[in-house]
Amino acid sequence: MSDWHDRAVMFDCAGESLVGIVSAPRAPAEVGVLVVVGGPQYRAGSHRQFVLLARYLAARGIPCMRFDYRGMGDATGPAVSFEAVNEDIDASIGAFLKAQSGLRQVVLWGLCDGASAVCLYPAATDKRVAASVLLNPWVHTEAGEAKVFLKHYYLQRLTDPAFWKKLLGGQVSLLRSFGSLFSLLRAAGGGASKSSSPAVVKVEDKGSLPERMVKGLASRTEPLAVFLSGRDYVAREFEQVMASSPDWRSVLGSKGVDVQHFPDADHTFSGVGESDAVAEATFRWLLANGFAQA
C-alpha cells in the first residue's frame, strides 16, 4: 500500500465551485504545500508538473494541494486574472486545512504568474501562510520585455556570424529584422509601462506589476525561496528588475531568502530530470526551514 493517496475536494469561492486535488501522506503533518497555478491552465500544470510535484512531496510526508481558479479547469464562474485571485487562494487555504487532518499552515508555491499571484496575496496578515516559493516570477512590462530581448536575443544575433551569413545570402529580411529591432529600442526606452492582463475580470492599477509584487513581499517576514531557470526570458526579465530596483534587492537580500538557479532549465522545467530537480529542491528547502522531516 502506498504511503500517500490523492483525493478530490470541492469548495466555495465567492459563490462559485472550485476543485482541488490533495496528495496526502498517511502520516499527519502540520505544514503543507499549496500550488498556486500559473495561467491560463488548470491544476495539472504543463507536462503534469504540478501532479508530479504534489506526489513527490506526499511520498515524503508533505501534503500538497493543487486547485483550479474560478473559470479554469473544473471550477465554475467567469475566468479571473492572476491579479484577482486573492479570494481563490484564501478559499483554497481554508479547504486544504479542512481536508487534511492536523494541517496548520501552508507554503504557497507558484510558477510564472502563479508566483506573481503569491506575491500579491496578503500573506503578511494571514497566519496560515508559513512561507512562499516563487518559480520564474512574471514581472512583465513592455519596456522590461524589450530590454530582455535586446540584451539576450538581438545582441546574441548581431554577434553571431551565422546571422550575417544568412543576411548577406538573402535568407533573412533586412527590413523585417531591423524594423523589429528599432521597435524594441523604442519600447525599451518607454519606462515601466503597465502590464497587460488577459483577464476577463480586471483589477485597479496601483503601480506597475513589479512594484505591486515587491510591495507585497516587503511586508512579510516568513522564509522565501526563488527558483530561476537558465533558459527563460521570464527569468531574465525578473533578474533585470531585481538588478535595477533597490526595493527588490532589499527584499531578496533579506535574511531567510534563498535564490536558486537551474542553468539548463526552460520556463516550465520541462527537460528530462528538471521537474524532479525542482521537486527535490523544494523538498530540501522545506527541510532546511523546518517545514518537513527527513
Least confident among 138-152, 170-184, 238-252 = 170-184
What integer pLDDT is reported at residue 270 of this predicted model?
Answer: 94
For residue range 64-110, what is the model confidence (pLDDT) as tens digits?
999 999 999 999 999 989 999 999 999 999 999 999 999 999 999 99
For residue range 242-279, what is the model confidence (pLDDT) as tens digits?
999 999 999 999 989 999 999 999 999 999 899 999 99
Least confident among 22-36, 43-57, 198-212, 246-260 = 198-212
Q: In what order do the strands lie in the sheet with 64-67?
A: 4-13, 16-25, 64-67, 31-36, 105-111, 129-135, 224-229, 257-262
The DSSP annotation for 37-64 comes to --SS--TT-GGGHHHHHHHHHHTTT--E
Q: Provide the pairing of β-strand 31-36 with 64-67.
A: parallel
Give the mean pLDDT of the chain: 85
Distance between CA 109 and CA 116 in Å, rounded?
A: 10
Arithmetic mean of pLDDT, 36-55: 92
187, 190, 195, 196: CA torsion to nearest 10: -60
Distance between CA 287 and CA 294 in Å, rounded?
A: 7
In the chain, count H helices and then E strands: 11, 8
What integer pLDDT is reported at residue 15 of this predicted model?
Answer: 97
pLDDT band at 174 (very low <50, low <70, confident <90, very high): very low
Reported pTM: 0.82
Tell me which of 125 and 162 has the higher pLDDT. Answer: 125
What integer pLDDT is reported at residue 140 of this predicted model?
Answer: 82
Least confident among 29-38, 112-121, 182-191, 264-273 = 182-191
pLDDT band at 198 (very low <50, low <70, confident <90, very high): very low
Arithmetic mean of pLDDT, 104-123: 97
Q: Are 224 and 217 in contact (CB under 8 A)?
A: yes
What integer pLDDT is reported at residue 178 of this predicted model?
Answer: 46
